[in-house]
Amino acid sequence: MKGDVFLSGGQKDSVRAEKYKPIINIAKIVKALHRRNMKAVSRVVVFHDQMLAKNFVELRPEAADGGPWQESKKRDPSWLDPSRQAVQEEILEIIERVASSGVDEIQLDYIRFPTQGNLENAVFNYQKIDSEKSLADSNYTPREKVDIIEYFIDKTKIIADKYGITLTADLFAIVAWQAPKDVSNTGQDIARLSKYLDSVHPMIYSSHFNAGFSFREQIENEPYYIVYQGTILTLQEAEEGCRVIPYIQANSWKVNYNKNYIIAQVRAIEDAKADGYILWSSSNNYESALKWLTEYYSK
């Protein structure tokens, strides 16, 4: 961490110690999972952090018209600047602590740049640095967002290899289609990033696609179509040896949620020949989904 950002009263880590105390003993939880022959996966939310963004404006992107940038004036700020050294060092320190606790896998979430809000007004630290370097050296090649994300994942891979654990990452839903604009906005280039990863997890929820996407009027209630297409495209882009394990929707937000909805997604995964799937419910309510899947697999 950069001392000028995180020091309080002259003592390193005092802010984190006072405000962000751990609520669980990770090593203890890992041991409990291993005793039950379960895999311990630590999902690390990377550049989306409401606590740090709210309390440390220095860690946020800057606004072109002055002051810190945030994606919405109606909600508290939540995005950090992925290109700030202090941000990366802080997160890498957290990842190392988790990795040293005996987990089997680190899963990176929000490993991207923000995609909502007035992005034209957002100035990221790497852009300021590259602008200065370009003025000083006409041969200098400015970086892109994907360069920043790739650099960070490379650093994370070093930590994962050090502790012999698996490294995976979540992909923004639309990124599976790899449209240049989406790659540029998020910094998620599947081919470039998957060479560091054991698995990628495209988050292909039909509820997150607008009506008319791919010329489908009811795309939110066509789970087979969207999951199959997104999975196939991710498989085509991912490096050989990197598994594709999509997230699928296990909640009722904006969709006709029932047994058929869940099973359609699973069949899409199977038909695409992906390496499995992960259920997602923000409320952690999986009772219905697990019941339906038990019935499906018992046939």
For residue 200, what pLDDT is reported?
98
274 pLDDT more than 60: yes
- Residue 133: count other Cβ atoms within 10 Å of its Cβ: 13
SS3 letters for 4-73? Answer: HHHCECCECCHHHHHHCCCCCCHHHHHHHHHHCCCCCEEEEECCECHHHHHHCHHHCCEECCCCECCCCC
Residue 250 is which amino acid? A
Angle between helix 145-163 and 85-99 (nearest 10): 20
- pLDDT tens-place string over residues 97-120: 999 999 999 999 999 999 999 999
Q: Closest Cα to residue 190, out of 160, 223, 159, 230?
A: 230
Residue 127's identity, in one-letter code, is Q
Shortest CA distance to 292 belongs to which of 245, 258, 244, 268? Answer: 258
Q: Higher confidence at residue 213 or residue 123?
A: 123
Mean pLDDT of the 238-245 span: 97
Check: CB of residue 233 under 8 Å from CB of residue 246. Answer: no
What is the reported pLDDT for 23?
64
φ and ψ at residue 200, rounded to 5 degrees? -120, 150
- What is the rounded CA–CA span in Å between residue 185 and residue 120? 11
Phi-psi region of 214 (alpha: psi -120 to 50; beta: other; left: phi over 0): left
In this prediction, residue 21 has a pLDDT band, given cuts at 50, 70 and 90, of low
Q: Which fold has domain 22-298?
A: TIM Barrel (3.20.20)
Question: Would you say residue 263 has pLDDT above 50?
Answer: yes
Whether the pLDDT of residue 95 is over 60: the answer is yes
Residue 73 CA to its chain's centroid (Å):
23
Res 12: pLDDT? 38
The answer to whether residues 79 and 61 touch, using CB atoms and an 8 Å cutoff, is: yes
φ, ψ dihedrals at 224, nearest 5°: -65, -50
H-state helical runs in 187-285? 190-194, 223-237, 259-272
Q: Which two tokens stand for residue 292?
A: 């339906």
pLDDT computed for residue 3 by the predictor: 30
Contact 112, 153 (CB under 8 A): no
**Distance (Å, whole) CA 107 – CA 272:** 23
pTM: 0.91
At 24 the pLDDT is 80
- pLDDT above 80 (res 9): no
CA–CA separation, 230 and 246 (whole Å): 9
pLDDT averaged over every residue in the chain: 92
Q: How far is CA 230 from the centre of its chain?
A: 16
pLDDT at 211 over 90: no
